[in-house]
Amino acid sequence: MGKKSGGDVGIVSQNCADFATPNVVLKKFPDGENYCRLENAEEIRGNNVRILHRLYPNPDDSIIALMQIIYGVKKSGAENISLIIPYLPYARADKVWLGGEVESARMLVKMLVCGGAKKMFVWDCHFLKKEGEFEFEGMKIENKCVGQKLVQYLKKTSKDAVVVGPDMGAKHMAGKCGKVMKKRRGEYAEEKSAFRPVVEMEAYFDVKEKEVILIDDMIAGGGTMVNATKKCFEMGAKKVHCAATHGLFLGEAIGKIKGAGVGKIVVTDSILGETERMSLKEEIVGLLGGKK
């Protein structure tokens, strides 16, 4: 029997089984296309639906899967559709560096709105840069910031550490008492890769003989953390630890960061992996309306 109208229904993707019991089946057709089935489609009509789905790894494929889930939920008669997206990919493609570049961050959000989603919960979204509610391309976005929780997590063992954001974009992560560096990236390094290496870090504060916690929204290839760590050691820091909300750890990122002399590396489980993770589970289960 269907659930009464006007209630809340949680839709949990298979790739979020560590947060709650999944009720979306995602498989592959033999040609590589996505198969998607909602197990509780009959509960949806007239209800407010919250969809929990990870968009990383395999962002492009996972975005198609999300569009399929939204489509299925809408077709099943949902009253309102909200998304819970632990890590939002394409969020760094929010500016035009070379004329004609596509702002894919806007495109992605617009696509989700066109699909039928009205609201989205995200964590330390790169283009929002502070906690709160925003209106972006027709989507209400609630951006949750866990910078200070990550800092407190590391401060359990590094009480007096100086908190440093490795670039101006990480200012809100470092908090009121934190310091920030200035980071400059160069031009695109190769023809085939849209990657601009870090070429300079500037810092005007004192970390001599001090322990440092570097905090950022994300670690991708690790260049930012490696360069920020080197800068801290040049300035006389005695220890450096790294924390970020999203740990993509591309290629040899962990080895490079450890190789620069970093002690602890902590991220959240917005993305799954082997590094130490502070869990977002409680917050996410709360947003789902208690579905476990």
The single residue among 20, 154, 218, 271 that binds ligand R5P, judged by CB under 6 A, is 218
Contact between 10 and ligand R5P per CB under 6 A? no
The three-state secondary structure class of 251 is coil
Burial of 170 (0-12, 13-18, 19+ CB in 10 A): buried
Name residue 248's amino acid: L
Nearer to ligand R5P, 126 or 291 (CB): 126
Contact between 228 and ligand R5P per CB under 6 A? no
Nearer to ligand R5P, 42 or 276 (CB): 276
Among 123, 218, 128, which Cα is nearest to 166's? Answer: 218
Q: Draw the binding track, 140-169, toward ligand R5P (x: CB under 6 A; -: no contact).
A: ---------------------------x-x
Give the CA count within 13 Å in the CB-facing half-sphere of 229: 20
Among 16, 88, 20, 101, which Cα is nearest to 59's? Answer: 88
Nearer to ligand R5P, 65 or 170 (CB): 170
Contact between 171 and ligand R5P per CB under 6 A? no
Tokens standing for residue 65: 């899967």
Q: How far is the CB of 51 from ligand R5P (least distance, A)?
A: 26
Give residue for tokens 């450096």.
240
The three-state secondary structure class of 30 is coil
The three-state secondary structure class of 70 is helix
The single residue among 217, 232, 265, 288 that binds ligand R5P, judged by CB under 6 A, is 217
The single residue among 59, 77, 221, 263 that binds ligand R5P, judged by CB under 6 A, is 221
Rg of the chain's alpha carbons, rounded to an integer?
20
Q: How far is the CB of 287 from ligand R5P (least distance, A)?
A: 24
Nearer to ligand R5P, 203 or 288 (CB): 203
Question: Using CB under 6 A, which residues numbered 90 to 109 contact ligand R5P?
Answer: 92
Of 13-21, 29-37, 154-162, 214-222, the segment contacting ligand R5P by CB under 6 A is 214-222
Among 121, 134, 61, 166, which Cα is nearest to 288's? Answer: 121
Of 28-36, 94-102, 110-118, 221-229, the segment contacting ligand R5P by CB under 6 A is 221-229
Nearer to ligand R5P, 95 or 159 (CB): 95
Q: How far is the CB of 187 from ligand R5P (least distance, A)?
A: 16
Nearer to ligand R5P, 169 or 263 (CB): 169
Rounded Cα distance between 111 and 162, Å, is: 41
The single residue among 67, 84, 105, 220 that binds ligand R5P, judged by CB under 6 A, is 220
Contact between 222 and ligand R5P per CB under 6 A? yes
Contact in structure between 176 and 136 (CB atoms under 8 Å)? no
The single residue among 142, 216, 269, 283 that binds ligand R5P, judged by CB under 6 A, is 216
Contact between 247 and ligand R5P per CB under 6 A? no
Strand segments, DSSP code E, in the chain are 8-12, 24-28, 34-38, 48-52, 80-85, 119-123, 132-136, 139-144, 162-165, 179-180, 182-185, 198-202, 211-219, 239-247, 265-268, 276-278
**Site residues (vs ligand R5P, CB under 6 A):** 92, 126, 167, 169, 216-224
